[in-house]
Amino acid sequence: MIGYLVRRILLAIPTLFVMLTAIFVLVRLVPGDAASVILGDQASAASLAALREKLGLDQPVHVQYLSFLGKILTGDFGQSLSSGRSVIREVLLVLPSTIELTVAAITIGLVFGLPLGIAAALARNGWVDYVSRVVSLVGLSFPAFVSGILMLIVFSIQLGWFPVLGNTSGAGSFAERMRALALPALNLGIIMTAYVMRVTRAAMLGVLTEDYIRTARAKGVGPAQLVVTHALRNGLIPIITVVGLYFGTLIGNSVLTEIIFNRPGLGKLIIGALNARDYTLLQGLMIIFAICVIVVNTLTDLAYGLVDPRVKYS
Amino acid sequence: MSTADTPVAIQPGGLWLAFTQNRLAWVGLVLLALIVFIALFAPWLAPHDPLEQNIVARLEPPSAEFWLGTDSYGRDVLSRLIYGARISLFVGFVAILIAMLVGTAIGVLAGYVGGVFDQLVMGVLDVLLAFPTLLLGLMIAAMLGASLENLIIAIAVTEVAPFARVARAPTITLRQRDFVEASRSYGCGPFRIMTRHILPNMISDVVVMSSLWLASAIRTEASLSFIGLGVPPPAPTWGAMIREGFENILDAWWLAVFPSLAILVTVLALNLLGDALRDASDPRSRAR
């Protein structure tokens, strides 16, 4: 296990290095240069030169690159141009609401997706299976902002069940918070449910035809125990992968959801940085996302090893 | 049917299987044909000019003259929707074509060369694959600036990784097959082996998946247009139309609802079709 762990973590390092280089290059691809884009056409030569110096753009490219890498290694992801706060601080300020939203969405996805997927697999080609497949495909086809807007129109505006403006302050009583969280969480949760259901169905179908399931059935193992302890245990690997891989999509979808429901969070932070042409904040956010994705990817692979001992030795 | 060591996906008649076994594939195909038809013949189908402003008829609800209502400039929503199909399909299609070319090249190269190069390329692609498609597209589009070309580049980059993954797997199996070994012993160079011997044997795998990823590309296009990084106004894009509808959500529901449905139907059609094609190309899932 230790060897597998070390090997997997060692693989993450060159990957991170390549990603960081890609981000560095991408930011240098800005037409003109970052300073002229940030300050606009009307900026004076003096203020341009001052900002270039502040951003280090007056240095040769290889010096910029080395200081870029060096700062990241020491945990410095830059500062927001508009607020002057460090990128880390900006992220930490909004992170709790994004975590609240994503945890709620993953919970909804697992609570509904797992049983529905198992039910569809057990009733293969029956009407339950058919309906659930169509419903999950519809769920997967909704861009998050489309489903969000439709929910907003129906539940907030037409029926008046939920606030239209959402939880802008992050304060308020627990009940108010939950009421503001309900629609955004449901919006992401439905898409998550569709994903989990599809992969659970496919995984269970793969496992249910295995010999050891037939053996267990022949031994007289009851249907509930058969599904939970025999089939699901082995079907879990692809499900874990999907939840792990879905993390990225979930963040992307939460950006759109946060805009629609006017929630604070990473999404609104990114859009704000975009509109303010705050390139240093955008670059810092990209770096943080890249690191997060690599960490989650590595953790997902490690979780494989825990669930399926065979993976460790391959 | 294909044996375990033949990675070739669709056998002659395999494509047909997608449609005989899966009635939903027909639904997808008919819907898609309809949308392509609408996009191709937009000038003849649209009742109004999509850019024509009419200050008197601002934010009109659906009526006999404006079937789906008008927007805040008095432009006909139906006509904009019809022209919007052109942009969505064009951007999605071109982006997927670029992603397919670049992704397949990377995948075949990584699979053929193998070793450390392969591991590093796949490591990066895995991260790209897990990186939020929307955020990646958003960052690239934001850095390059909003325009049609940059939008296409941004979306293409987000779809390169899946193509490379699908191209790499069969390449690794094909590399060790006897006919590749034989052509190598004849003195074939690596470029010729990759393009003449490996590519034709795995390209159907790649093409099959492109329908699903076209759906994803169109979704990304709509999302970026919604955020304001799409084709600049006044071009009628579905995403930007929804944005406008969102801003007027309290008094003009039709602005957001109809383009939302257009995106949903388009993506669903491509997903239905792509799902059926993938099932037909994979003998394991066909048995189910």
Which residues make beta-bridge pairs with A86? A79
CB contact under 8 A, B223 and A143: yes
**CB-CB contact of A314 with A259 (8 Å):** no
State how far the Cα of A263 lies from the Cα of B95, in Å rounded to an integer.
32
Residues of chain B found within 8 Å of residue A149, distances taken between Cβ atoms: 242, 245-246, 249, 256, 260
State how far the Cα of B49 lies from the Cα of B125, in Å rounded to an integer.
44
Over the stretch B263-277, which tens digit does the pLDDT of each residue have? 989 988 888 888 888
Least confident of A113-127, A133-147, B217-231, B273-287: B273-287
Task: Give residues 290 to 309 of A whose Cβ lies within 8 Å of B.
Answer: 290, 293-294, 296-297
Q: Which of A38-42, A143-147, B29-33 has the highest mean pLDDT?
A: B29-33
Residues of chain A found within 8 Å of residue B139, distances taken between Cβ atoms: 26, 282, 286
Model-level pTM greater than 0.90? Answer: no
Over the stretch B134-170, which tens digit does the pLDDT of each residue have? 888 888 888 777 788 888 988 898 889 888 888 888 8
**Nearest residue to B270 (alpha-carbon basis) of B21, B34, B20:** B34
**CB-CB contact of A250 with A52 (8 Å):** no
Over the stretch B168-184, which tens digit does the pLDDT of each residue have? 888 888 888 888 888 88
So what's the pLDDT on residue A72?
Answer: 82
CB pairs under 8 A between A and B: 134
So what's the pLDDT on residue B98?
Answer: 94
State how far the Cα of A121 lies from the Cα of A207, in Å rounded to an integer.
10
Residue A307 has pLDDT above 90, yes or no: no
End-to-end Cα spacing for chain B: 15
Mean pLDDT for A229-248 is: 75
Nearest CA in chain A to B245: A149
Please, which residues have CB within 8 angstroms of residue A79's CB and are 6 or more apart in sequence? A85, A86, A87, A280, A281, A284
Cα-atom radius of gyration of chain B, to the nearest Å? 22
CB contact under 8 A, A150 and B260: yes
Residue A108 has pLDDT above 60, yes or no: yes
pLDDT over 70 percentage in chain A: 90
- Please count the other Cβ atoms lying within 10 Å of the Cβ belonging to residue B258: 21
Which residues make beta-bridge pairs with A79? A86
Residues of chain B found within 8 Å of residue A146, distances taken between Cβ atoms: 222, 242, 260, 263-264
So what's the pLDDT on residue B17?
Answer: 65
Q: Which helix (H) or strand (E) holds B63?
A: none
Distance of CA B71 to the CA centre of its chain: 28
CB contact under 8 A, A149 and B260: yes
This complex has an ipTM of 0.78
A199/B contact by beta carbon, under 8 A: no
So what's the pLDDT on residue B106?
Answer: 92
Nearest CA in chain A to B229: A274
**Nearest residue to B276 (alpha-carbon basis) of B9, B11, B43, B21:** B21
Residue B281 has pLDDT above 80, yes or no: no
Which residues make beta-bridge pairs with B70? B76
Residue B233 has pLDDT above 90, yes or no: no
Handedness of CA B84, B90, B96, B99 (dihedral sign): negative
CB contact under 8 A, A282 and B139: yes
**CB-CB contact of A205 with A125 (8 Å):** no
A123/B contact by beta carbon, under 8 A: no
pLDDT over 90 percentage in chain A: 1
So what's the pLDDT on residue A145?
Answer: 83
